[in-house]
């Protein structure tokens, strides 16, 4: 059966040369009014329902690690729901990802929902690509709030221009990464950019751009969907740590080192016409 894609998620968004320049300079961009708020709210109900239903977290917040206090996290929801699959395969965001990366197309690495509970803690400073066995930096994550995210809810925030900084690339999300990366970013005077999001806004950041999020000190949960895109021609590299070994097995099983990653778990989301 052919997947029915939602036309509301397949409308072109006009990226300007200034958008591209800013993304290349800063390693991220926060775009306004990318998707219709009513459509996001509708899909958001299904994404949030699945996140809560599928989360395996049972400990109260005060008994969790720093990582586990940051959010409830459920990955590859696109495999759990045809409706979420329609959302993840939407070409509006895929087209933006390809244009920002300057590649001919993008395929899925994986999706993940990030549900920061009321009272949830910080998301420590880190760079995503520490976790990924990918051979180039042509990866980008779309951070898609499913409701307004004011500062008190802990919006995603970035160190502008940090995608070229080698320090901290060997640190996973932890108390150590928060302390060490934040100190280095401040000493090197990378601008820290923290802004609220309105429903419909989407940010995109490179795999090596350092970022973090504050705690959720509001009385409401912060529900966010993310989609990680990679160059349609991305090659699997030899993993450099145990976590990358696990990612290889989980998100691109059957892919071979040195070959383009094109498994059933990594469908093409957007590709320019030849």
| Main-chain dihedrals φ then ψ at residue 54, nearest 5 degrees | -95, -10
Residue 1 resides in a domain: no
Range of the domain at 188: 26-271
* Residue-level pLDDT at 273: 84
pLDDT at 2 over 70: no
Residue 154's region, left for phi above 0, alpha for psi from -120 to 50, else beta, is: left
Tell me the pLDDT band of 65, cut-offs 50, 70 and 90: confident
Q: At 198, which helix (H) or strand (E)? A: none
* Residue-level pLDDT at 41: 94
Token pair for residue 75? 């990955």
* Mean pLDDT value of segment 7-32: 96
* Residue-level pLDDT at 3: 59
Residue 256 resides in a domain: yes
Residue 11 resides in a domain: no
* Residue-level pLDDT at 115: 96
Residue 101 resides in a domain: yes
* Residue-level pLDDT at 67: 86
Residue 126 resides in a domain: yes
* Residue-level pLDDT at 246: 97
Domain CATH for 215: 2.60.120.620
CA distance 112 to 234: 20
Residue 3 resides in a domain: no
* Mean pLDDT value of segment 124-153: 98
**Residue burial 264-273, b: 16+ Cβ < 10 Å; e: rest:** ebbeebbbee
User: For the chain, what percent of residues have pLDDT higher than 90?
Assistant: 93
| Main-chain dihedrals φ then ψ at residue 159, nearest 5 degrees | -95, 105
The number of distinct structural domains making up the chain is: 1
Query: Of 3-12, 110-119, 184-193, 202-211, where does mean pLDDT reach its minimum?
Result: 3-12
* Mean pLDDT value of segment 218-247: 97
Tell me the pLDDT band of 66, cut-offs 50, 70 and 90: confident
Can you give the C-alpha Rg of the chain in angstroms? 17
Q: List the one residue out of 98, 106, 76 whose CA is nearest residue 234.
A: 106
| Average pLDDT score over the chain | 95
* Residue-level pLDDT at 143: 98
Tell me the pLDDT band of 5, cut-offs 50, 70 and 90: low
Tell me the pLDDT band of 1, cut-offs 50, 70 and 90: very low
Residue 5 resides in a domain: no
From the number of C-beta atoms within 10 Å of its C-beta (0-12, 13-18, 19+), residue 182 rates as middle
| Main-chain dihedrals φ then ψ at residue 93, nearest 5 degrees | -70, -35
Residue 17 resides in a domain: no
CA distance 248 to 235: 12
């Amino acid at each position: 059966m052919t997947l029915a894609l939602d036309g509301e998620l397949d409308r072109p968004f006009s990226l300007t040369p200034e958008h591209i320049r800013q993304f290349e300079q800063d390693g991220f961009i926060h775009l306004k009014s990318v998707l219709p708020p009513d459509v996001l709210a509708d899909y958001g109900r299904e994404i949030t329902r699945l996140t809560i239903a599928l989360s395996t977290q049972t400990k109260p917040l005060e008994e969790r690690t720093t990582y586990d206090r940051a959010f409830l996290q459920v990955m590859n929801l696109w495999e759990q729901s045809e409706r979420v699959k329609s959302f993840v395969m939407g070409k509006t965001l895929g087209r933006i990802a390809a244009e920002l990366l300057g590649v001919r197309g993008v395929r899925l690495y994986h999706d993940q929902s990030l549900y920061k509970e009321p009272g949830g803690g910080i998301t420590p400073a880190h760079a995503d690509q520490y976790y990924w066995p990918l051979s180039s930096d042509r990866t980008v994550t779309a951070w898609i709030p499913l409701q307004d995210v004011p500062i008190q809810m802990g919006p995603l925030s970035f160190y502008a221009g940090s995608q070229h900084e080698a320090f901290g690339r060997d640190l996973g999300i932890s108390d150590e990464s928060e302390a060490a990366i934040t100190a280095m970013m401040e000493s090197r005077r990378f601008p820290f950019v923290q802004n609220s999001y309105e429903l419909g806004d989407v940010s995109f950041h490179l795999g090596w751009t350092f970022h973090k999020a504050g705690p959720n000190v509001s009385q409401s949960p912060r529900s966010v969907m993310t989609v990680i895109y990679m160059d349609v021609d991305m090659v699997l590299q030899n993993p450099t740590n145990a976590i990358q070994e696990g990612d290889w097995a989980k998100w691109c099983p059957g892919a071979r080192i040195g070959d383009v990653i094109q498994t059933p778990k990594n469908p093409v989301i957007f590709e320019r016409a030849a």
